[in-house]
Amino acid sequence: MKKKNYLIAIGILFSTVCAKAQTQTTLYFRNGQVSCVSWYNNHQKLDSLKTYYRTGQLNESFYYDAKSEFNGRCSQYNEDGSVKTKWLFEHGEMIKRVDDNIKYTDKNKVYILNKISSLEQINMDIKLYENKKNTYYKGLVFKRAKLRGQLNENTLALHDYILIIKEWELKKETPGTKKMLSHLYDEIAGFYAKLDIVDIGIHYKLKAIRTNPTENRLNYNLGAYFNYVNQLDLALHYLYKTTNKAPRHPFANWGLGMAHIKLGNYEKAIEHLNICFSNEESLHRLTTGAADEGIRALRGTAYANLGKVKEAKKDLIDAIDLKQDNSYAMFQLGLLYYKTGNEKKAKKWMTKAKKLGYDKKHYDTSIDYYLSIGCIKEKENLPAKVIAPSLALNPIQTDTYLLDSDLHDFDFYVYDYLNELVYYGKSKDQNINLEKLKPGFYILKIKSEPKEISIKIIKE
């Protein structure tokens, strides 16, 4: 498939990343769990699809008519298997919506209920203007897409964005067009990211920034995603780029706290997280509060690693009280009890975290080690973390150097976001010269034993 058609083809997202002429295609999360399965009719039109949570639980179930329009009874589920929302469609038109079991906390209840109320009103307005398809109607569809995305109704949100993005790409370039396109690219990147289609997600988040470089929140969004995929050099770059313009940005400081915990900079992490606490209302007002790694869970983790047991316990227990299925806080609380010699409570909290799918959600199999050992005295046998090779400079302007590797002279290969080879070079004394490479997002690969080195890079 040609690159220029890739985004247009997102209309059938699930077939763009899979081979053609199949009756079924399957995508996977990085932990090996299925993220999406889609089925096609004899004419290669989308017939039905199911999306999943990282734990393996069913998330969404949609059915389509012969023209690939939503049709029949469709559903979304909570991670515990309970039905969250049901829809009834008739050849693309939503006839009925029923919210069975919307999950919320005391902190995000108002946010979620307000979004649902706004969505109901917009759906009524869209029906009034559906036959006109004028500018006002398209604005309503955009607002609905945004609301659906905020409520994690991913497939429906993606459908709405598809309805409007092609038209905006054909418009004359103006500040308003740039702002809208950057928003659309960023939102669509988010749907790729949710399915762990990582490289394409990063590409479109970076494209959003380059389309509208003055919008600071786009730097945060890219930094947060690099944080999620553990590309911490680039995470720090874009998150600090955000706080350089807005030092007390609650979301960027939240992301910086998370990144510094991963790097072992616990004091620095607490410094950033305390800024979040001073503006906590914004975090809950602007999100669904669904993340396990909330500011209490993260600060509790940092306190625990600094040996501040009392403070760590309070934050972690508060995090669990606030979100009772918080497997991250449960694991960290279990780890704290483990380190302080209380094996019984350690096993209790880690068992709860395991049942909630901590290892699958957070890609951390160390929980199996702690649950399998019979005695705390064996804790020194925990496998040491391997330091992965990295780069001295990333983003890169002209050249960089390979760090934490025994390789000195080697061949390197550069691939684009669709895994197409775009550049080849030879390194001497670990120097990697990329001066001729065009600006953008790439994957640098170096042949090595026992496994290939692969590093995501930004060329500026």
Which residue type does 81 have? Answer: G
Residue 415 placed within a domain: yes
For the stretch 374-424, pLDDT in tens is: 544 445 555 566 678 899 999 999 999 999 888 889 999 999 999 999 999
Instruction: Classify residue 283 by its DSSP letter.
Output: H
Confidence tier at 152 by pLDDT (50, 70, 90): very high
Residue 183 placed within a domain: yes
Q: For residue 85, what pLDDT is reported?
A: 96
DSSP 3-state of 37: strand
Q: For residue 453, what pLDDT is reported?
A: 93
Selection from 99, 92, 142 nearest residue 120 by Cα: 99
CA–CA distances in Å: residue 215 to residues 45, 180, 292, 317: 38, 11, 27, 37
Residue 366 placed within a domain: no
Examine the fold and report which residue of 150, 182, 202 is the final residue of a domain before the chain moves on: 202
Specify whether 237 is located in the same domain as 181: no
Structurally, how many domains does the chain consist of?
3
* Burial of 183 (C-beta count, 10 Å sphere; 0-12/13-18/19+): buried
Q: For residue 285, what pLDDT is reported?
A: 65
Residue 367 placed within a domain: no
Specify whether 426 is located in the same domain as 452: yes
Residue 417 placed within a domain: yes
Distance of alpha carbon 443 from alpha carbon 451, whole angstroms: 15
Helix axes 175-194, 154-169, angle to 10 degrees: 150
* Burial of 160 (C-beta count, 10 Å sphere; 0-12/13-18/19+): buried
Examine the fold and report which residue of 317, 334, 351 is the final residue of a domain before the chain moves on: 334
For the stretch 43-71, pLDDT in tens is: 888 899 999 999 999 999 999 999 889 99
* Residue 308 neighbours by CB under 8 Å, 6+ apart: none
Specify whether 181 is located in the same domain as 262: no
* Residue 435 neighbours by CB under 8 Å, 6+ apart: 398, 399
What is the helix (H) or strand (E) element at residue 135, kind and residue range? helix 135-150
Q: For residue 108, what pLDDT is reported?
A: 81
Specify whether 264 is located in the same domain as 305: yes
Confidence tier at 194 by pLDDT (50, 70, 90): confident
For the stretch 286-338, pLDDT in tens is: 565 567 889 999 999 999 999 999 999 999 999 999 889 999 999 999 999 99
Confidence tier at 169 by pLDDT (50, 70, 90): confident
Specify whether 196 is located in the same domain as 239: no
> Which of 2-11, 91-100, 126-135, 270-279 is predicted with the least confidence, judged by mean pLDDT?
2-11
Q: For residue 289, what pLDDT is reported?
A: 58
Residue 262 placed within a domain: yes
Quick check: 21 pLDDT over 60? no
The domain that holds 439 is classified in CATH as: 2.60.40.3080
Query: Residue 48's CB: how many other CB atoms inside 10 A?
Result: 17
Specify whether 191 is located in the same domain as 212: no
Confidence tier at 349 by pLDDT (50, 70, 90): very high
For the stretch 204-250, pLDDT in tens is: 999 999 999 999 999 999 999 999 999 999 999 999 999 999 999 99
Give the bridge partners for 411, in sequence order. 426
Residue 307 backbone zone (phi > 0: left; psi -120 to 50: alpha; other: beta): left
Specify whether 294 is located in the same domain as 431: no
What is the helix (H) or strand (E) element at residue 94, kind and residue range? strand 93-99
DSSP 3-state of 88: strand
Distance of alpha carbon 242 from alpha carbon 222, whole angstroms: 10
Cβ contact 28:35 at 8 Å? yes
Residue 369 placed within a domain: no
Higher pLDDT, 60 or 13: 60
Q: How many CA atoms lie within 13 A of 12 on its CB side?
A: 19
**pTM (two decimals):** 0.81
Cβ contact 36:49 at 8 Å? yes
Domain housing 226? 204-334
φ/ψ of 278, rounded to 5, equals -75, -15
Distance of alpha carbon 184 from alpha carbon 190, whole angstroms: 10
Specify whether 32 is located in the same domain as 160: yes
* Burial of 298 (C-beta count, 10 Å sphere; 0-12/13-18/19+): buried
Specify whether 33 is located in the same domain as 165: yes
Confidence tier at 9 by pLDDT (50, 70, 90): very low
Distance of alpha carbon 222 from alpha carbon 235, whole angstroms: 7
Length of the chain, please? 460
Specify whether 197 is located in the same domain as 211: no
Examine the fold and report which residue of 172, 202, 232 is the final residue of a domain before the chain moves on: 202
The domain that holds 279 is classified in CATH as: 1.25.40.10
Specify whether 163 is located in the same domain as 257: no
Distance of alpha carbon 15 from alpha carbon 192, whole angstroms: 13
Residue 398 placed within a domain: yes
For the stretch 86-144, pLDDT in tens is: 999 999 999 999 999 988 887 788 888 999 999 999 999 988 887 777 788 888 999 99
Confidence tier at 22 by pLDDT (50, 70, 90): low
Specify whether 179 is located in the same domain as 218: no
Quick check: 5 pLDDT over 80? no
